[in-house]
Structure 1
Amino acid sequence: MSEDIDARPLNEPFDGIPPITHDDVATAVATLAQSPGKVFALDTERAMGIRYSDRAYLVQVKSENSPIYLIDPVGVEDKLGPLADALSGEWILHSADQDLPSLRELGLEPTKVFDTEMAALLLGYDHTSLQHLVADLLGWYLAKEHSNADWSERPLGPDLRAYAALDVQLLHELRDSLTEMLKNAGRFDWFEQECEEIRMRPPKPPKAQPWRRAARQAGVKDQRALAMIEQLWKVRDEIAKSRDLNPSKVFPTKLVGELASHKLRSYADLKRSPLLRRRERQKLVAPFWEAIDAAWHTPESELPARKFRDPNRDPFPPTNRWDSVNPEAGRRWHAIRDRIFSLADELGIRQDVLLKPIVQKTVAWNGWSSTSDLHRALTAAGARPWQIELTVPVLAQTA
């Protein structure tokens, strides 16, 4: 929070702290279904870093004239059809891509999205948190001391319920302020295109080899040790899923790599390892030894490669190698970056908002033969019309 923003603290909702709605969802549905304009403020609370899944343990909902509802969906997921019908309309969310997946798991789907974070990005805000925007535009300071709470615990005390409710208390007012600013800046059309892309964005594909993270953290490059990390990762994930715990709660990710780096040769060596000395970790010795033993018996021809680049995330080689592996692409990359950074600076927005780096990489690597071909290439890479209109004139000069 910037020190020069004069904001009043808001510690609980204007109408008091709402109760939890669980079995009595019908009451909320009846009220929300009558919402004029069908514009709803929504948020979710999850238990990331604590539980195995990324499910929503609380859904906060408010229409412009309704009370705030704190809906506990756990155990009543099959009864939320009427709520989905009632909420069919525009949703105001902050950082919508974080909440939409868990809301969709519950069968809840918007017809339109208003993402307050995206609005702030297009307006050139350096700080785009909900807390900062509410303070800057509405004059209220929202405390965020419960952001890492365990939202899977029950019951939820008044402090947590107040915190959750405040996340939707002012979203309608914030939407009105941001809409006026975007229209005054001539960027509301940009905003609508970005929000529709967020609404329609498919889920990210899973990482092909997520266990590589442990290898990087521990600096492991030995192929046999990499195989051990892969096997330990799988076993840890199975245990975490069965316990509904985040895998790092079962055994820290960095220690997975460190344990594998020792390349232990026996069950007894593993049992004596300082990394498993804690009493609660002794239960991991047997399954972890099975994983290590399996890696010892993996044929050398089937060991993981020392280096791996996930094609689902970024199919291109590191850009610092482009000058040698594809000189023309390297030349285009440097030119594109210069022009995108310069244009973004003129517009007062971040370069990745103007044009995502993966789109920049795609057109730089593949090239284009004409201005119309560049237009098609940007469209195929996922650029929105407003981005294409702004960037084609400056990028065409780099062909």
Structure 2
Amino acid sequence: MIDEAPGFARACTALAAGHGPVAVDVERASGFRYSQRAYLIQVFRRGAGAFLFDPPALGDFAPLQAAIGDAEWVLHAASQDLPSLREAGLEPAAIFDTELAARLLGRERVGLGAVVEEELGIALAKAHSAADWSTRPLPDSWLEYAVLDVLHLVDVRDRLAAALAEQGKTEIAEEEFRAVLERPARPPREDPWRRLSGLHTVRGRRALAVARELWTAREDYAREVDTSPGRLVPDRALVAAVLADPATKQALASVKEFTGRASRSQLDRWWQAIERGRACSELPIERVSGDGPPPPRVWRDRNPAADARLKAAKPAVDAVAAELGMPVENLLTPDSLRRLSWSPPEPLDAASVGAALATLGARRWQIERTAQTIVEAFVDSTQEPPSAPEEAS
């Protein structure tokens, strides 16, 4: 592993002198650390070899960016790695996503190990995929695992690119890769504390305020000590504390279900959070409605026309996906179809449906292959079924 400036400089020189696409992968410490920073960056290029870089030790990755920035970067599940790469100062100009390519090709298994095995016949052991990559020093077996993640990726890319060309999907893939690369970061979630597992068992606005304050206190402490929140106090333990409604700090300490490595060592912190929740004047509402349509199971009663449109359009879009040989969610997201079915544009034609799909984030190729199909399905949904002929008496 490269963790000093001289070795880093030599590696960057070698990579700049290499040729062709550059395979890149990132190892994080998800589930162990609070941040999603990269704790290992693996890079391979033909004519240069494979290199493992230690981001905490090296810090500035500008030399690596300069060495490989103009080349196509090959990643597997790029959307997962791009935020960590960008945090390290690394930004590709173009990408080839081997997972996304496998999906567009209709492959049944799209994990890295499965794709490498199907394309190259090489089996990769995935024993350390969930390891704590902030560990130092990293064991040799982990480093071997890490280098194998990029060693074969360019060969896989070439095989998948050939298959995409054979199926006439090269332009589709390029459009999807650009969309992944250019997709803006998600805005912060409103009321993220509502994702607390088990929160549905909490009743009452005051109790929800306590849950919110406990979640916020845990989040602040997790950020402070750079530890995954669930490793400090699990979600179920926070919810147990809310449901127990302890009268004193000692009573909180006596709640058996209030577990976790920091449940007792930070008892003052949690008790103060409970007291803030009980004293706050701004109480959260109990139910928050989403910005989209309600669940389809209630459409038949609440909006029968929308229900009919969705039931007509879904199999029609499924058929287009089957014809293209790809999962339907890669052709058009279920959420987009639901939103369009609930509130279709006027006038109802391919242009207006295409504009609505574009607003929802659909790409050009998706619109070209689905807009007219959706219009026809919506129109068909309004037609009365033919009545059965009367039987002769």
Same fold (TM over 0.5): yes
- What one-letter code is carried by the residue in structure 1 that aligns with 2:78? A
1:34 aligns with 2:13: no
1:136 aligns with 2:118: yes
C-alpha contact 2:299 2:306 (8 A) present in aligned 1: yes
- What one-letter code is carried by the residue in structure 2 that aligns with 1:339? A
Look up the SS of the partner of 2:41 in the other structure. Answer: strand
Partner residue in 1 for 2:365:
386
Residue 21 of structure 1 and its aligned partner are, at CA, apart by 4.0
Measure, in 1, the Cα distance between the counterparts of 2:111 and 2:54.
25
C-alpha contact 2:17 2:48 (8 A) present in aligned 1: no
Deviations 1:107-130 (A, max 9, x none): 111111100001110111111011
Residue 140 of structure 1 and its aligned partner are, at CA, apart by 0.4
| 1:121 aligned to which of 103, 118, 128 | 103
Look up the SS of the partner of 1:275 in the other structure. Answer: coil
Deviations 1:261-314 (A, max 9, x none): 122222221122223477853122211111111111133xx3222212454xxx
| 1:162 aligned to which of 144, 153, 165 | 144
Partner residue in 2 for 1:109:
91
Summarize the Cα distance change of 1:316–1:216 in structure 2 as closer, same or farther, 3 Å threshold: farther
The structure whose RCO (Cα within 8 Å, separation 6+) is larger is 1
The 5-angstrom pairing of residues 245-260 of structure 1 reads 245-260=227-242
Measure, in 1, the Cα distance between the counterparts of 2:99 and 2:254.
50
The alignment covers a number of residue pairs equal to 374
Summarize the Cα distance change of 1:57–1:152 in structure 2 as closer, same or farther, 3 Å threshold: same
Range 186-195 or range 42-51, more displaced: 186-195
The 5-angstrom pairing of residues 231-380 of structure 1 reads 231-276=213-258, 281-299=263-281, 302-311=282-291, 315-368=292-345, 369=347, 370-380=349-359
Summarize the Cα distance change of 1:90–1:235 in structure 2 as closer, same or farther, 3 Å threshold: same
Q: What 5-or-longer segments of structure 2 have no aligned partner?
A: 380-393
Partner residue in 2 for 1:13:
none
| 2:202 aligned to which of 183, 200, 220 | 220
C-alpha contact 2:72 2:95 (8 A) present in aligned 1: yes
C-alpha contact 2:32 2:228 (8 A) present in aligned 1: yes
Measure, in 2, the Cα distance between the counterparts of 1:22 and 1:75.
7
- What one-letter code is carried by the residue in structure 2 that aligns with 1:205? P
TM-score under structure 1 normalisation?
Answer: 0.89
Look up the SS of the partner of 2:123 in the other structure. Answer: strand
Measure, in 1, the Cα distance between the counterparts of 2:166 and 2:293.
39
Look up the SS of the partner of 1:274 in the other structure. Answer: coil
Deviations 1:183-242 (A, max 9, x none): 111111111111110010111222212222225356223322211110000001111111
Look up the SS of the partner of 1:388 in the other structure. Answer: helix
C-alpha contact 1:94 1:130 (8 A) present in aligned 2: yes
- What one-letter code is carried by the residue in structure 2 that aligns with 1:186? G
Question: Rg bigger for which structure?
Answer: 2
The 5-angstrom pairing of residues 163-202 of structure 1 reads 163-202=145-184
Indicate the percent of aligned positions where both proteins have the same amino acid: 36
Q: What 5-or-longer segments of structure 1 have no aligned partner?
A: 1-18
Q: Give the root-mean-square deviation of aligned CA atoms.
A: 1.8
Partner residue in 2 for 1:83:
64
Look up the SS of the partner of 1:33 in the other structure. Answer: helix
Measure, in 2, the Cα distance between the counterparts of 1:188 and 1:217.
45
C-alpha contact 1:215 1:229 (8 A) present in aligned 2: no
- What one-letter code is carried by the residue in structure 2 that aligns with 1:367? P
C-alpha contact 1:215 1:221 (8 A) present in aligned 2: no
